Amino acid sequence: MNNTRKYDTIVKIEKSGVRYNAWTADGTKMTTDITTRMRKKAFNSTGYLGRYNTKSGNARWAVVSPTDVNTDTTNDSAKSSVDIPNEHAEIMGFIHSSYSLKPKGLMMTELKWKYLIRSAVRGKNIMMTGPAGCGKTMAAKSVVNSLDRADFYFNLGATQDPRSTLIGNTHFDKDKGTFFSKSLFVEAIQTENAVILLDELSRAHPDAWNILMTVLDYGQRYLRLDEADGSDTIKVANGVTFVATANIGNEYTSTRVMDKALMDRFTIVEMDVLTEEDENSLLTYMFPNVDSKVTSNVAKIAALTRSESNSDTARINSGVSTRTTVELMGLIYDGFSLVESAEVCIYPQYDNTGGVDSERTFVKQIVQKFCDDGSSDDLFNEEEMAEAEGDAS
């Protein structure tokens, strides 16, 4: 180590799967600027590299110790009073500059996104909650992609046999006899710094919840291979982060109510249902070629159904989701009219029983307000309509 050198940039080397990534304190990734050999060498010694200029003006990297690097030559006394641990400063830098990592097509507030990233880098178990089709899976996948760590995906809602998905199977082979093959999940939890997505945890079989109890408990963090006490356990590796999604909203009475003890093991990140304005910007961003008047009508229909479903006198159980508005817009983009698109995309989601008093009739009337055929039912009073129009402008 050479203490007389002036380093203009310090990076920390972090291992991600088989890669060695280089990050500056403010979260800039420098991996491609440095050879793999150099990054690996640093990772196996101090964990840090510093960039300096040679006499001939070329930038070079050298292994440095984070405590004795000479980055600032002018005002050491002023600096020494601020005692932010190096690693803490780096993590903060990463969190607060992370909004740029959010995909443009995902609508989520900066605060929620940063909270999500922060929870992930701090190794919290994260639970994304919100009604159907509001972007939980999309946000969870986006955070996994942004972190550049080994990732694993498990859809627990679709799993019939939690034991084989989460633990493994016992097989019989006539040569080997009975043997146990471990699940992918076992591999996942043994992978350091892995990000493990547990999609649709709220729809999982209660057996899955029981198996996950010890895995998710910060004090335990192990998987028991067998229900029996004293059976083999597998430790969750360092830095493993779990990101789960759950449909938890007042309209989800059919979803099994999740166990309180399991819920307690998670940091909740609630996905917001989009406002009319955000819905409109998302749809405009995704479908720039669709007539903006039609796009704004779709956003209004969604907003009206959502506010209706939340009102005390709600005549429908749930609002039109963002998943549905995106599908609807796709049809419109492909040349279907709003009426036709609604007929195939929206109405089937609403109960048809009860004739004129049915949920479907109610939603149809909302949609028709925004269609050109001029049908005018007096389902909404003037005030409600003015409000809906006013919200849009």
Ligand X SMILES: Nc1ncnc2c1ncn2[C@@H]1O[C@H](COP(=O)(O)OP(=O)(O)OP(=O)(O)O)[C@@H](O)[C@H]1O
Q: Least separation, in Å, of the C-beta of 334 and ligand X?
A: 16
Produce one character per residue of 218-255: b if its CB has 16 or more CB atoms within 10 Å, e if not: eeebebbbeeeeeeeebebeeebbbbbbbbbbebbeeb
Q: Pick what 392 binds: ligand X, Mg ion, none; C-beta below 5 to 8 Å, kind-dependent.
A: none
AA letter at 354? G
- For residue 233, the cross-strand partners are 224
Contact with ligand X (CB under 6 A): which of 95, 98, 120, 133?
A: 133
For residue 20, which of 148, 153, 195, 152 has the smallest C-alpha distance? 148
Contact with ligand X (CB under 6 A): which of 22, 107, 121, 243?
A: 107
Q: Least separation, in Å, of the C-beta of 126 and ligand X?
A: 14
Shorter beta-carbon distance to ligand X: residue 42 or 269: 269
Produce one character per residue of 346-381: b if its CB has 16 or more CB atoms within 10 Å, e if not: beebbeeeeeeebbbbbbbbbbbbbeeeeeeeeebe
First to last CA, the chain: 63
DSSP state of 128: E
Our finding on whether 247 is near Mg ion (CB under 5 A) is: no
Neighbouring C-beta atoms of residue 310, cutoff 10 Å:
13
Q: Pick what 283 binds: Mg ion, ligand X, none; C-beta below 5 to 8 Å, kind-dependent.
A: none
Contact with ligand X (CB under 6 A): which of 25, 95, 138, 363?
A: 138
Q: Which stretch binds Mg ion (CB under 5 A): 82-90, 129-137, 167-175, 254-262?
A: 129-137
Our finding on whether 129 is near Mg ion (CB under 5 A) is: no
AA letter at 124? K
Q: Which stretch binds ligand X (CB under 6 A): 24-32, 99-107, 116-124, 229-237?
A: 99-107
Shorter beta-carbon distance to ligand X: residue 136 or 364: 136
- For residue 127, the cross-strand partners are 244, 268
Our finding on whether 202 is near Mg ion (CB under 5 A) is: no
- For residue 83, the cross-strand partners are none
Dihedrals phi, psi of 77, to nearest 5 degrees: -65, -40
Q: Least separation, in Å, of the C-beta of 265 and ligand X?
A: 20
Our finding on whether 39 is near ligand X (CB under 6 A) is: no
Our finding on whether 162 is near ligand X (CB under 6 A) is: no
Our finding on whether 282 is near ligand X (CB under 6 A) is: yes
AA letter at 390? G
Return the structure tokens found at 148.
Answer: 């550049």
Residue 17 CB partners (closer than 8 Å, separation 6+): 149, 150, 191
Q: Least separation, in Å, of the C-beta of 245 and Mg ion?
A: 5
Our finding on whether 106 is near ligand X (CB under 6 A) is: yes
Cα distance between residue 46 and residue 282, in whole Å? 45
Q: Which x/- pattern over 166-205 shows residues binding ligand X (rule: CB under 6 A)?
A: ----------------------------------x-----
Cα distance between residue 264 and residue 279, in whole Å? 32
Per the CB < 8 A criterion, the answer to whether 136 and 129 are in contact is yes
Our finding on whether 321 is near Mg ion (CB under 5 A) is: no
Q: Least separation, in Å, of the C-beta of 302 and ligand X?
A: 11
Q: Which stretch binds ligand X (CB under 6 A): 133-141, 163-171, 304-312, 332-340?
A: 133-141
Q: How many residues bind ligand X (CB under 6 A)?
A: 20
Q: Which stretch binds Mg ion (CB under 5 A): 74-82, 120-128, 134-142, 212-220?
A: 134-142
Q: What is the DSSP string of 233-267?
A: EEEPPTT-EEEEEEE-STT-TTSPPPPHHHHTTSE
Q: Least separation, in Å, of the C-beta of 338 and ligand X?
A: 19
- For residue 62, the cross-strand partners are 50
Return the structure tokens found at 332.
Answer: 């419109």
Shorter beta-carbon distance to Mg ion: residue 125 or 137: 137
Our finding on whether 322 is near ligand X (CB under 6 A) is: yes
Contact with Mg ion (CB under 5 A): which of 98, 125, 129, 137?
A: 137
Q: Which stretch binds ligand X (CB under 6 A): 32-40, 59-67, 114-122, 130-138?
A: 130-138
Q: Least separation, in Å, of the C-beta of 137 and ligand X?
A: 3
| Residues that bind Mg ion in the complex, under the rule CB under 5 A | 137
| Residues that bind ligand X in the complex, under the rule CB under 6 A | 105-108, 130, 132-138, 200, 245, 247, 274, 282, 322-323, 326
